[in-house]
């Protein structure tokens, strides 16, 4: 799904990522690396191969766009360092692409670990007239790209069956990205009349509102 914002072109990818065509920037939010290992440590029966799924999905979306820069919009890691950090460090080294982290509330790992991987860290980031944050920010002067909410939408048909899909939520001055990571959950939204909702249905993004 391609959309235009302030005369710039963006592609909404089924992974939940956004590619900014003019800047060759890939935006990704709420990967929550380490969450699966955290759950397994506490006895939840999650298959071990689920850990590598996030990295496979990262590889796929990067291969789709070949970005010049990757910006994570917060909650890159779920909590403290665990076994998944080594997988992440390996992934960073093989990318050979500039990586930036806009900090989220879950990003509690010592910043030096990111510095050692040559990852720059910001509380927020301004690029032209666009404001990149983790938490949604209302700003009349800038268009805000953000995450945090893990937006989802419930769709019902005439047979009263329902689908629960992750989605991109576009407001007048804001685009909220869905969570990229596995096992992150969804916050089901009730869009306003002026909102646009782009749902992720398997391998495509479709506008539903």
Given this model, what pLDDT does residue 38 score? 53
Total structural domains within the chain: 1
Q: List phi, psi (to 5°) of 61.
A: -75, -35
| pLDDT band for position 44 (cuts 50, 70, 90) | low
Question: How confident is the model over 34-41, as a mean pLDDT?
Answer: 59
Range of the domain at 180: 2-207
Cut 0.95: pTM above it = no
DSSP 139-165: -SSSEEEE-SS-EEEEEE-TTS-EEEE
Q: List phi, psi (to 5°) of 117.
A: -100, 10
User: Closest Cα partner for 152 from 182, 179, 180, 189?
Assistant: 189
CA pseudo-torsion sign 116, 122, 127, 131 = positive
Given this model, what pLDDT does residue 107 score? 84
- Which DSSP helix (H) or strand (E) runs through 47? none
pLDDT in tens, 122-166: 999 999 999 999 999 988 899 999 999 999 999 876 566 778 999
pLDDT in tens, 74-109: 999 876 677 789 899 999 999 989 999 999 988 889
Given this model, what pLDDT does residue 41 score? 54
- CATH number for the domain harbouring residue 67: 3.60.21
Q: Is the pLDDT of residue 14 over 60?
A: yes
Would you give the end-to-end CA distance of the chain in angstroms? 14
Are 121 and 114 in contact by the 8 Å Cβ rule? The answer is yes
Q: Is the pLDDT of residue 177 over 80?
A: yes
């Amino acid at each position: 799904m391609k959309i235009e914002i302030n005369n710039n072109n963006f592609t909404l990818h089924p992974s939940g990522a956004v590619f900014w065509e003019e800047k060759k920037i890939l935006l990704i939010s709420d990967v929550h690396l380490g969450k699966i290992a955290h759950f397994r440590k506490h006895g939840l029966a999650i298959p071990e191969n689920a850990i590598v799924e996030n990295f496979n999905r990262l590889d796929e979306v990067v291969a789709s766009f070949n970005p010049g820069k990757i910006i994570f919009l917060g909650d890159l890691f779920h909590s403290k360092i665990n076994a998944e950090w080594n997988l992440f460090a390996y992934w960073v080294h093989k990318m050979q692409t500039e990586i930036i982290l806009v900090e989220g509330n879950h990003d509690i790992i010592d910043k030096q670990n990111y510095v050692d991987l040559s990852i720059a860290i910001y509380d927020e980031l301004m690029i032209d007239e666009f404001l990149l944050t983790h938490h949604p920010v209302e700003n009349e002067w800038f268009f805000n790209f953000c995450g945090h909410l893990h937006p989802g939408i419930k769709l019902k048909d005439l047979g009263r069956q329902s689908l629960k899909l992750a989605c991109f939520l576009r407001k007048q001055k804001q685009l909220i990205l869905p969570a990229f990571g596995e096992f992150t959950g969804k916050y089901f939204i009730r869009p306003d009349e002026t909102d646009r909702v782009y749902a992720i249905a398997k391998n495509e993004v479709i506008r539903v509102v």
